[in-house]
Chains A and B, each alone.
Chain A
Amino acid sequence: MDARALAYQPSLRREARMDAVFNLLTRSCAYLVLALLAGVLLTLFYGSWPALRTFKFAFLAREVWDPVTSQFGALAPLYGTVITSLIAMLISVPFSFGIAIFLTETCPMWLRGPIATCIELLAGVPSIIYGLWGLFVFAPLLQQTLQPWLIAHLGPIPGIGRLFQGPPFGIGMLTAGLVLSIMVLPFITAVMREVFRTTPQSLKEAAYGLGATQWEVVWHVVVPNARAGIIGAIMLGLGRALGETMAVTFVAGNAQNISLSLLAPGTTISAAIANEFTEAVGPLYLSALIALGLILFILTVSIIALARLLLLRLNARGPRL
């Protein structure tokens, strides 16, 4: 080895050391992501322990929510969360499906980019803006148009009419569900577009070759091919809807009880936490709210995990946000 090569020796050693350091650094940051999930779970469990110990599993099944006597149960917010999310899914899924079909199959090429961007902008609008708009623009609109109509026409029908009783408040479970449906629509659309695009071009061309119309190609080739992905997209949207907070806090009405009518005010897990947390007095009250958070976290994370698993099988990963 000549002198110059020897002169490089310390620098080479430094490079090797830096490599090990950088490797370790990146690795620990990556593990931090795992620690984050575990940390959130453990912390929430720790925080909700007083409430869970006091009420045990009955916490899930009790409707009572009374800070004065310190009696808490998760049933009313849990019910509200599920009902508003179901309404949201009932509306947003067909719409998202239509938009995804339109954007992947029928839309002229030059329009696809701009329209897709607009739909994604809908996802970019912060939750609180939807809440503000829902409370001051959308709810009064519903109060004057849709809700009186529902009460007049669907209210008298036995059975289903029970869902549309009472005065039109504007705000309430139905309004919260509708606002949620707008919010999750871009997410479901994005995932559906991604899975529709996984359809092999040759399959579609084969169907066209057999004389299928554009709709028949969609219905008999694209959709069956993407079935697992569609379910994944729906579940991902559901996970979003269940955990959505601010918009629902504005329009759900913040009433801690269960009423069958969709027009009545209610609350959801996230809205209850957002509304009451800073005003909660006493360790049991706080702990009950954290327990609500724990339930919400477990619920959403398992649904999102299932959705992502379904999508992984199709080599689709879902949206980046």
Chain B
Amino acid sequence: MNFIKRRKIIAALGLGVSGLATLSALTVLALILWALLSRGLSGLSWQVFSQMTPPPGGSGGLLNAIVGSVTMTALGIVIGAPIGMLAATYLAEYGRTERISVVIRFINDVLLSAPSIVVGLFVYTLMVVKMGHFSALAGAVALSIIVIPIVVRTTEDMLHLIPLGMRQASAALGARHWRTIVSVVYPAARSGLLTGVLLAVARISGETAPLLFTALNNQYWSNTLNQPMANLPVVIFQFAMSPYKNWQSLAWSGALLITLFVLLLSIIARTLSKFIGSSESRIE
């Protein structure tokens, strides 16, 4: 009896501790969100969206940084997402059974977790040194290199969810493989493809390290991709590390904006990916 009681106590203890671990992780998330809201919300006004980054002590907003971030994120997606989707199409369709696909899948998974600062160094050596100056284009290319593995992985997973029967039905009607992919598989996996892109946007819109020495920063408005461009993450970094109160306050507002945007995107992407999992049954 005593033995059984001891086992039950150990069980309750172990499971209780695991519950506490979960609770503490949730607490940390709440603490971070609270800090962002309490410090970021106060500085958040219309001015943040309508004015340029100020000099130390002056007043201003984050307009050029927001526009720069949107520009480079969009460009990064435009370059990276098609490449990623096509690569995933090879892995899931043409090269489904080939040995090289196993290697590519593996390397892609490795790149997925590789440190992003190394991507910055790569693009610096490849583009910035060759061009002779920092530029928004280099920043976008660096971001696109981070986009590719994410899109490859998600897209491939999603294409695998499309039942083989649909491809066979298309082939039976006389469609070539490419016609099947473009007219049957892609439309069926549409929400899945979108999930990959959204996840990639969520990931790169907060990326700082690859932009530090590619796009650098720019205190002013920039309307050419050939020049350094302001962007939210690097502005947050620079402003937070500065001793000026108005810069620090803007850094918190920027941080709040990025976090809300990224978390919202993650939630949307998650919902979308659940949608594809349930609506198109996994027959295969």
Residues of A within 8 A of B (CB): 15-16, 18-19, 21-23, 25-27, 29-34, 36-37, 39-40, 43-44, 46-47, 94-95, 97-99, 101-103, 105-107, 115, 117-122, 124-133, 135-137, 182, 185-186, 189, 213-216, 218-219, 236, 239-240, 242-246, 249-250, 270, 273-274, 277-278, 289-290, 293, 296-297, 300-301, 304-305, 308-309, 312, 317-318, 320-321
Contacts and interface: CB of A to CB of B under 8 A. Distances in A.
B212 A133 contact: no
Contacts of B118: 40, 44, 243, 293, 296-297
> Which 9 pairs of residues, A with B, have the shortest CB-CB distance?
A126-B206, A243-B115, A98-B21, A215-B11, A26-B90, A213-B11, A22-B178, A98-B18, A29-B86
A244 B114 CA distance: 9
B72 interface: no
Contact of B209 (A15, A18, A274): A274
Contacts of B237: 128, 131, 246, 249
Given A47-B125, A317-B109, A29 B179 contact: no
Given A15-B179, A26-B93, A185-B25, A124 B20 contact: no
9 contacts: A19-B179, A36-B148, A37-B107, A115-B26, A120-B266, A214-B11, A215-B12, A245-B117, A278-B213
B22 A33 contact: no
A33 B121 contact: no
Interface residues of B, number: 99
Given A239-B113, A296-B118, 10 more contacts: A19-B178, A31-B104, A36-B111, A40-B118, A95-B25, A246-B233, A278-B212, A296-B115, A304-B109, A305-B106
Contacts of A133: 32, 35-36
Contact of A132 (B17, B84, B252): B252
Interface of B: 7-8, 10-15, 17-22, 24-26, 28-29, 31-32, 35-36, 39, 83-84, 86-87, 89-91, 93-95, 100-101, 103-104, 106-119, 121-122, 124-126, 145, 148-150, 152-154, 157, 175-179, 181-182, 199, 202-203, 205-209, 212-213, 216, 233, 236-237, 240-241, 248, 251-252, 255, 258-259, 262-263, 266-267, 270
A33 B207 CA distance: 20
Contact of B122 (A25, A40, A132, A273): A40
Contact of A304 (B114, B117, B255): B114
Most buried by A among B15, B26, B115, B119: B115
A23 B94 contact: yes
A43 to B, nearest CB: 5
Most buried by A among B20, B22, B107, B240: B22
Given A102-B15, A214-B11, A321-B150, A308 B110 contact: yes
Given A32-B87, A219-B14, A290-B125, A246 B208 contact: yes
Contacts of A297: 114-115, 118
Given A19-B178, A321-B199, A301 B110 contact: yes
Given A132-B252, A215-B15, A320-B150, A125 B21 contact: no
A277 B90 contact: no
A237 to B, nearest CB: 10
A122 B199 contact: no
Contacts of B153: 320
Contacts of A246: 208-209, 233, 237
B117 A270 contact: yes
Contact of A118 (B26, B95, B177, B255): B26
